[in-house]
Chain A
Amino acid sequence: MLRAAATLGPSLGRRLLSAAATQAVPAPNQQPEIFYNKIFIDNEWHDAVSKKTFPTVNPATGEVICQVAEGDKALETLDNGKPYVISYLVDLDMVLKCLRYYAGWADKYHGKTIPIDGDFFSYTRHEPVGVCGQIIPWNFPLLMQAWKLGPALATGNVVVMKVAEQTPLTALYVANLIKEAGFPPGVVNIVPGFGPTAGAAVASHEDVDKVAFTGSTEIGRLIQVAAGSSNLKRVTLELGGKSPNIIMSDADMDWAVEQAHFALFFNQGQCCCAGSRTFVQEDVYNEFVERSVARAKSRVVGNPFDSKTEQGPQVDETQFKKILGYINSGKQEGAKLLCGGGPAADRGYYIQPTVFGDVQDGMTIAKEEIFGPVMQILKFKTIEEVVGRANNSSYGLAAAVFTKDLDKANYLSQALQAGTVWVNCYDVFGAQSPFGGYKMSGSGRELGEYGLQAYTEVKTVTVKIPQKNS
């Protein structure tokens, strides 16, 4: 799991990879057969009503893997490019833990009996919301599927899931497992397709009771508008971020450098909660920058099936071009390019690990979500100052503080406007702890007990009785 990865210490990437080199991780099948590339409805496989298909592309080579049925109005390393070792040890591990965690909740989400005034017996039922549309992204295809299915199914809902057009394959494989596991037909339905067509159909459907979306803030707004314009379906959103990672001068330097590197570069920088504004207190700024650049230069970029690879390709050409655009803006707006700065290969969507120093708050790279392997390091003087600057964003997904001082840790964790604040760690997730955004990073929480609330409709039952006794 990510936390397990994070606790491995300075040569985190290398320790994970050496685990792969031993017997811990089986060798990957680099050309897996694709069995499931259609639409999954009622535990059966369907062609698209339109008969249309779309290609899904291997981002390491730019080649088409196969055609997938394109659901319209009528619904991992190959598909996404993430290093195989991480996929196996981290993504899958977290998927299993999430599903097991929510399985445990199924018979424990209690309503209440309530001491209401008057001669009444009053109680609540925690009912499932109903038909839940779930639109999931491409950065952690399997994990995002598990995060959505776990709470929805534990509370008794049925699901129509639109998987990302870039990465439909693993979700469709899981669909077959759902059938094999014995879920009744119609409980989980999976429709691969594009956002403006299949996704929009879900968000504006008059008979979908709730929509859950993980993706960009831009699309999140569209979803919320569509929900309001259609049937007022309940909405939860997990959107983008520009999360501040605050390094105080008393931080453990080695640990902070490695964690800050991990915070930004993990998953090719394609994390909603990436620590993409690294604020370093001035006393330790120069050393921090120097060590971070050295670490970024040593990051191994390559074929994701190679066990030595730390960084694979970006997911597609659109992202690839967008990230290069941001890098250019950084150069043009006067940030100091310290390493990287361009593509890393001739084929596939690889980008060099890039570090900008002396970044100012007003620069585009300091304000907008890049979603790529581009690190911004900013300098600050005082703790009060950095709180103001860290919070000066319409995002609020996550934040971190590195310090040994108890008071500073408590002060910052109270003050930061972020759904998750990490202290002396980063990207530590557990199915048990809720995750979600302040402000425009989203609404609602996923995971933990809190994650059940969005999938529950509370019904109060009040029964007249002859005489109430306490």
Chain B
Amino acid sequence: MMRAILTKKKLVLSNAHRFISITNLSRCISTLILAEHESGSIKPQTVSTVVAANHLGESSSVSLLLAGSGSSLQEAASQAASCHPSVSEVLVADSDRFEYPLAEPWAKLVDFVRQQRDYSHILASSSSFGKNILPRVAALLDVSPVTDVVKILGSNEFIRPIYAGNALCRVRYTGAGPCVLTIRTTSFPVTPITESKKATISQIDLSKFKEDAVSRSRYVGQSTQDTERPDLGSARVVITGGRALKSVENFKMIEKLAEKLGGAVGATRAAVDAGYVPNDLQVGQTGKIVAPELYMAFGVSGAIQHLAGIKDSKVIVAVNKDADAPIFQVADYGLVGDLFEVIPELLEKLPEKK
């Protein structure tokens, strides 16, 4: 009797084993990720893109491509090598040409790197960097990119939002060239890393890299806000103000509330257009897409384009004087009231964050 049971066990096990090997027939996937770095460290959007690359298939090798110049580049490279266990290689292009991330030299660089090694997938995050450069790369490779991917179903099937997030479109890439994607990083959160693995860092030989004799695109300058507040795209709490705030001074209330909750400040297009805040705080379809744990909107009416940028938030709280504002249809908790009274009350009554 025992023998009968044992043999049956073996039979079933071998069947299961066969099943596993069939499912691993996916083709060899090697991914090149365009990495963004700033002041010597990798941006969180790049790490989210690595997480997304993991969903492409079992046997994937992930290479990060960094370009820039000087010591901050080398620092970023060594940080990139240990940012995620699935990174197998870090390629570094060190040249003055890449001091600022311009699309023209970057696209040529990606093509140059790809000619030396065949990649099945080329990824970047759906940030202004990725959106600027990746379509140019795709056109150079004569492939159609899939942009703003929120879910990866396989090595060539993806889901992306359309119609301001009111519908989800499942697309399949059927081309022969590399699959070029931009990833919506809010859909691929990064879990804290427990194991640390250091990838190899290799400097790319740029001696044969020929860009157009006269580079016709030149970086002139930039105006950025330096704040200690968390980055809007990856913050866990976002506090947004709309046009109802009426002035730059009033926005300070929003900033105080954000500081109390340890969150980032956002704004609607109307508020940015009116000049209350700079454009990098804009949340919405043509601004930043955010997916925080807590999203609080003060004086925001809830236009379709704004809602497109906040739909994936876990909890949405809305405060507005107008009870018919569309924002209340998406909000989990709505409070009809004057934000000029509600915000000071909240500031008073919220406990300090630990």
Chains A and B are bound partners: no
